[in-house]
Amino acid sequence: MILYMHDLDLPLSSVLQYLAESGELQRKNTTKTIVQITFISRPMIFQLAFTTRYTECRQKSRSATPWFGAYTELNRVVRVVIQRIMVAMNYDLAVIGAGIHGVTVARAAAERGYRVVVLEQFSGPAQGTSSKSSKLIHGGLRYLESGQIRLVRECLNERRRLLRQQPDLVKLVPFHIPVYRHTRRKTWMIAIGLNLYRLLGGKDFKHIKRRDWHKLDGLKTDGLKRVFRYWDAQTDDLRLTARIIDEAGRAGAQIHYGAYFRGAECTPQRCKISFELDGVLQTVNTAAIVNASGPWVNIVLEKFSPAIASLDIELVQGTHIVVPGRLRRGIYYLEAPHDQRAVFVMPWQGSTMIGTTETTYQGDPALARPLESEIRYLLETRNHYFEKPVERNEVIKSFAGLRVLPASNSNPFSRSRETVLHRDRKLPNVLSIYGGKLTSHHHTMVRVMKKLGLRKPKTRHSHS
Ligand SMILES: Cc1cc2nc3c(=O)[nH]c(=O)nc-3n(C[C@H](O)[C@H](O)[C@H](O)COP(=O)(O)OP(=O)(O)OC[C@H]3O[C@@H](n4cnc5c(N)ncnc54)[C@H](O)[C@@H]3O)c2cc1C
């Protein structure tokens, strides 16, 4: 049977999903019919094993031919299904971006009963920054140097929560800070920092006895004065994000991969979003939008009508490299000899990951790639501290992510890492997330939901 759907412009996946899920298609006492639905508006034809109340239809049908009855019934079912799809095309919330921020907001809203759609340009979650981080769930000991005490306290609270809620994905790991004669941060400075860290919610710290230094994965001991050990946590950013989006999907969020946000026409009550899916332009209506597009945040904002003012930002690239060698004792927190920045040497999936750098970036965020100079800087830092050097040709892989930092003339290392939520007074229903931490994604979500008035479970009267 061929069904022509001439004037429909709906995502194919939605039609399939609704057909498959529809109770109408799962009645008992049925006979199987193959239905071919042809979408005239696009070059796509698919076949679906379709079950109708064929026998019942035949009895009811005035026509002598059983096929006519089945056809009528099929038409009715499809009409019901299409109507449902149309209703579902009106959302309470559209989230642009399936990075850690977008998926966390989508999950929270879907779990509260809101109709949520997520648009992600790539073919899966966390293909932007959220798979290119240092994979640390931490308060950020080094942020104490730039006085970001509130951020450190908030992140340490979040660390505690994540250790409890995701014990298989977020694990405490010992961090080692070696202090040499040449180290710029002196022993007493680090001890003060670690004490403050502990008071803000970190764990206790200690120093490793000299007789145990030889157990530290080949760390050079020449000129070594002290090795501090404290605790922070490590995760798998990609798996964490993927887990959250799975939960969002299970809670009812519609997730579209390969869906490129093209623009939105908004009033303070509603937005009509256009996006490209499988090369076809689609539209959805939504009451609110969260722009969680990470380093694309201002590119996405430019596509709104009326225009929305954006914040002045700078993209700062951070590169990591993965090299052979298994670290047995945990993470090493090193001071780069070149510029005294903090660089981590971490165990990662049976190898060693080293990062990160801070290089100002301009251009398309999708094209960010590790620079040769960054790779050499990381190798040089690692080799400065460990006995057995790693050569350039041993680098297994490298990747780069982009931080969204407030524009400033100051050094990126000392700039605020706070998450900024931004919206224009003209359009309070469109909220953009600037910057932020993997660690504090839950806290950011709570702030977003509060600002959009989505904290409470949906009632019949809210955001329809
Ligand atoms: C080098 C580096 C190291 C870091 N290390 C840590 C760390 O150890 N611990 C920590 O807590 N934090 C860390 N961070 C910060 C953390 O990784 C980020 O804050 C977080 O991943 C940002 O997530 P996001 O969801 O905002 O953005 P992203 O993960 O970048 O997601 C944005 C998504 O939007 C999509 N998108 C963009 N434009 C469109 C469009 N037009 N249509 C559809 N989709 C679109 C993108 O494809 C992307 O998937 C680090 C960051 C960097 C750069």
Q: How far is CA 380 from the centre of its chain?
A: 31
| Residue 284 Cα to ligand 1 middle (Å) | 25
- State pLDDT tens for residues 174-223: 999 999 999 988 899 999 999 999 998 888 899 999 999 999 999 999 99
| Residue 441 Cα to ligand 1 middle (Å) | 11
- State pLDDT tens for residues 140-187: 888 888 888 888 999 999 999 999 999 999 999 999 999 999 998 889
| Residue 295 Cα to ligand 1 middle (Å) | 7
- For residue 403, the ligand 1 atom closest to its alpha carbon is 53
Give the pLDDT of residue 87. 45
Residue by residue, DSSP assigns 99-158 as SHHHHHHHHHHHHTT--EEEEESSSSTT-SGGGSS--EES--GGGGTTT-HHHHHHHHHH
Residue by residue, DSSP assigns 254-315 as EEEETEEEEEEEE-SS-EEEEEEETTEEEEEEEEEEEE--GGGHHHHHTTEES------EEE
| Residue 260 Cα to ligand 1 middle (Å) | 16
Tell me the pTM.
0.83
Give the pLDDT of residue 71. 52
Which residues have CB under 6 Å of ligand 1?
A: 96-102, 119-122, 127-130, 132-136, 260-261, 292-296, 300, 318, 356, 401-403, 433, 436-439
What residues does each domain of the chain span?
A: 2-88, 91-127+238-311+417-451, 173-186+194-232+314-412
The residue whose CB lies within 8 Å of the most ligand 1 atoms, and thus the one to mutate among 107, 157, 232, 293, is 293
Q: Which two tokens stand for residue 369?
A: 């790639």
Dihedral sign of CA atoms 405, 408, 413, 418 in order: negative
| Residue 344 Cα to ligand 1 middle (Å) | 19
- For residue 357, the ligand 1 atom closest to its alpha carbon is 1
- Spans of the chain, pLDDT less than 50: 1-13, 16, 22-68, 83-84, 86-88, 463-464
Give the pLDDT of residue 212. 97
Q: Which two tokens stand for residue 401?
A: 């992510």
- State pLDDT tens for residues 16-32: 455 555 444 443 333 44
Q: Supply the CATH classification number for the domain 173-186+194-232+314-412.
A: 3.30.9.10
Domain 91-127+238-311+417-451 fold: FAD/NAD(P)-binding domain (3.50.50)
- State pLDDT tens for residues 423-433: 999 999 999 99
- For residue 155, the ligand 1 atom closest to its alpha carbon is 11
